Amino acid sequence: MPDRGSGPSGPRMRVGRPSRRSRTLLMTLGVLAVLGMAFVMFAGFWTDWLWFRSVKYSTVFTTTLWTRVGLFAVFGLLMAGAVGLNVWLAYRLRPPLSAMSLEQQSLDRYRMSIAPYKRWLLLGVSALVGMIAGASAAGQWKTWLMYVNGVPFGSKDPQFHLDVSFYTFDLPWYRFLLGFGFAAVILSVIAAVVVHYLYGGLRVTSPGARATSAATGHLSVLLGLFVTLKAVAYWLDRYGLAVKSSDFKAADNWTGLRYVDANAYLPAKTILVAIAAICAALFFATLWRRTWQLPVIGFGLMVLSAILIGGLYPAIVQKFQVQPNEQAKEAPYVEKNIKATRDAYGIDGSEVKDYPGVPQTDDKAKLRQAAGTNASIRILDPNIVSPAFQQLQQVKGYYAFPSTLAVDRYSGQDTVIGLRELNIGGIPKNNWINDHFKYTHGYGVVAAKGTTVDDQGAPDFTQSDLPSKGMFGTDFEQRIYYGERTTQYSIVGGPQKELDYSDDKGEKETSYQGDSGVNLDNPVNRAAYALAFSEPQILYSGAIGEGSRILYNRTPKERVEAVAPWLTIDGAPYPAVIDGRIKWIVDAYTTTNGYPYASRTTLGQSTADSLTNSQRAVVAQENQVNYIRNSVKATVDAYDGKVTLYQWDAQDPVLKTWMKAFPGTVKAKSEISKPLMDHLRYPQDLFKVQRELLTRYHVTDPQTFLSGSEAWAVPDDPTTKAGTAVPPYYLSMKMPGQTEKDQVFSLTTTFTPNERDNLSAFMAVNADPGTPDYGKIRILKLPTSKPVDGPKQVQSKFQSEPKIAESIRLLRGGDSEVEYGNLLAVPLEGGMLYVEPVYVRSAGLKYPLLRKVLVTYGGQTAFEDTLDKALNVVFGAEAPTTPVNPPPGEGTTKPPAAQDPTVKAALADAQKAIEEADKAMKAGDWAAYGKAQSDLQAALKRAIDAEAKQSAPKPAG
């Protein structure tokens, strides 16, 4: 034979073999690639650990991590073991000889090809399904922690008489275990069938029996386990009826048992448990009988029973027993649903009283006095005046205020407040150093009285300028490193100085002295963050050195959500100056979707209104819940980002459960300082969820609830055209019958009947934690026999009054824009007082000024320059500047006011003043701008006075 090494093919075979140097290079590249992938995975883990350690909540990270790892390992191994065991068992139970047939001959090729890799294939398949199952189980870490730490609610469901904790903490875990068991059995069946078929235990076309006795026994046991799990599922389904949602005309997202559930589905599920158990026993009996006949018959009977007993029978009960007498049949179950829903949402203590809706006295002096003492009517709309804060107090383009400001109270005064935060889009020149090293923080607090404005109609500032000064003084930390607009990372404290603020003497520099953020001294940390933020300059930039720290996760919602991932965060954090620091106050909720009989609501839908935007929307938009508590009050320091969680609802079992799972993360309510307590308030999102439920659940009588005759609706905001719900308003006021002598900081809203615009109810909650009645919901129910105008009707009447419409037309002169502020409703001596500020944004002016106030009460309407003047006019204490509601027939033959020479001259002066104001603003001459605004106001007043004089009836003769 020829020498293989010396033949033509010998030397040529070695030509393509890589050299030792190439093999070393390829091996090195491979190792580097593996190390690179490992570092990418490590970077995410490491940066998370560093961040949690920096905020001193490392136990949250470790508890969550080890819980995930434990679930991954346990359930991954269980799944891998179950599938691997059944694959191995199917292989061991293979027949010694395969039948001689074409089918088996074709399978021989596959058996031979995998023979050398059987062990690796078994390990690979088991590992793959184990990793998938483990990853799925790791995502159930909340379910597991709630199960092992669950605290009793102390109340039982009305059907099974089990503690509510069984449904909220235990049942979800049992359902997960059941689902995992089904997945393990199904995957095991599939794997066993494949192996049995491959090795001849199952045959499709081969002669003889279709399955060997060993394969029959093996698969029978697996199918018996499947049917056993189905019996367990039927048993758990019985309890699931208490938390099952269904379509029911009585309420959206109805939850709990109805008549058909208690009298048809519940006994059907119990019967199916027994049938499934018998069917499972028949499958297990196949180990001895070696025949599929009885198990198949049993399985068929189980399926047929599920259709007849579980589907057809309840349909018959619903059709022939419930529908002919639905109210009588459903009333006991509706009563249970009403009670559970009111308990679950904290509205069970709501106080509903009848309210006449019309004045109960003719004493105008008494009414005028009550209008001044019953409420501090806020005419500064926090949603309208943000541009005024922006233009008058922005100072520099790289600062900005939120689009909706906060309402708080200081020294008994309702106050509109906002922080001058960093606006990254306003930096003069954007580059990496400016964006992340030089411009790092906002500066200062701006606040204004809620009930007054200055002479020009601008906010009456009580804290302003840069650095800010006023009622808070100047001796407090004004730098804002953490805020609602601060979404980018910053690197502070190193060799690169930061811009602090600018004044007449130039720019002031600073270097961050706080202890928040993660230290970048360590090159490993720098590399990890360079990778995490996809910014390689972090790794080698000379702007980073000793003392450099990276700040990120800087919005209050992000920080609270990160350290307490089991909380749902309110959409409207708000700032307050407390003990020399600016603190963000964040309301947080514990929720569950497993409260028996309580109807569900979707948080994103319930909390949406005309003011919600990207900053004010609830995080969990699609979260469906049927239990909610404002159980935690959190604070975030605007300078050092410190997050503090306080237990607010000490009775909430869901919070107690999480406090057991994460000990030491939530402080006791007793640790809330008095200055902080003074600025806590009832949260808006909880109030909006509760008012949505109260549109139906203010009714406690089942028959009335079923009829829907007393159903209400949250009205659309009449000041916008978007068709979105009117927002609730904070207001210091006294409700009729309220025991407090003074006004109480409250959160208010109105209701209308379904598909109608008149007022059906007024709702207020005591929002001041410093009072005994904090959280008390009071509802004034108006009569249906004598309709009272609702917000939309009041707004329409405002705009349709001829004199008011003419005055508004004059305000729009010179291309000015009129903006309507919040339409506030206040109960007053049996009637409803409506107040609405009217703002004017003149041409060339970038912010609105308060020009008029609309007031209506008891059929009387006023449109005046100030609130006091409008109230005086409505209650007859002063003559109107702008007459409204003229007697029929008077003034109908007068020529249009615009034809009067005096009015024309006044409008010409107004247009000139607008132009002068525009020039002054562009030139930065604020003194000239103020004079132009005064001239504009005077000109408009002359025009209105002339129009009123022309329209007044002349004396007879």
Question: What ranges in 361-515 are assigned the alpha helix state H?
Answer: 364-373, 386-393, 432-433
Helical packing angle, 213-240 and 293-307, nearest 10°:
20
Contacts (Cβ under 8 Å, ≥6 apart) of 587: 569, 570, 573, 630, 632, 633, 634, 683, 685, 686
CA angle 612, 488, 48 (to 5 degrees): 100
Amino acid identity for residue 749 in this structure: T
Neighbour-count burial for 890-929, b at 16+ CB within 10 Å, e otherwise = eeeeeeebeebeebeebbebbbebbbbbbebbeeeeeeeb
Residue with tokens 């200081």: 410
Determine the pLDDT at residue 1: 42
> Cβ–Cβ contacts within 10 Å for residue 324, how many?
9
Whole-number Å distance between alpha carbons of 255 and 257? 7
**pLDDT means over runs of 10, the chain (957 residues):** 43 54 76 74 88 95 96 96 93 74 65 77 90 95 96 94 96 97 95 86 67 86 94 95 83 85 93 93 82 78 86 88 87 94 94 91 88 89 89 88 89 89 90 93 93 89 90 89 93 91 83 92 91 91 92 95 94 92 95 94 84 58 84 96 96 96 95 94 94 94 89 88 84 83 90 91 94 93 89 87 84 82 92 93 82 90 91 81 44 40 69 67 59 70 64 42
Beta bridge partners, 453, equal: 459
Determine the pLDDT at residue 746: 93
Between the alpha carbon of residue 761 and those of residues 289, 857, 934, the distances in Å are 72, 16, 42
Residue 808 tokens read as 């508004």
Taking the alpha carbons at both ends of the chain, their separation in whole angstroms is 145
Asked if residues 851 and 821 have their Cβ atoms less than 8 Å apart, the reply is no
412-434 per-position pLDDT tens digit = 788 999 999 999 888 889 899 99
935-951 per-position pLDDT tens digit = 766 776 676 666 556 54
Determine the pLDDT at residue 953: 45
Whole-number Å distance between alpha carbons of 337 and 256? 7
Whole-number Å distance between alpha carbons of 572 and 564? 17
Which of 453, 316, 348, 303 has the alpha carbon at shortest distance from 392? 453
Contacts (Cβ under 8 Å, ≥6 apart) of 425: none
Whole-number Å distance between alpha carbons of 402 and 389? 10
Residue 240 tokens read as 């699931």
Q: Is the dihedral of CA 279, 283, 286, 290 positive or negative?
A: positive
Whole-number Å distance between alpha carbons of 808 and 817? 10
Rg (alpha carbons) of the chain, rounded to whole number? 37
pTM comes to: 0.85
Whole-number Å distance between alpha carbons of 428 and 412? 41
- The string of DSSP codes covering 665-689 is SSB-GGGS-HHHHTT----HHHHHH
Which of 441, 440, 439, 442 has the alpha carbon at shortest distance from 429? 439
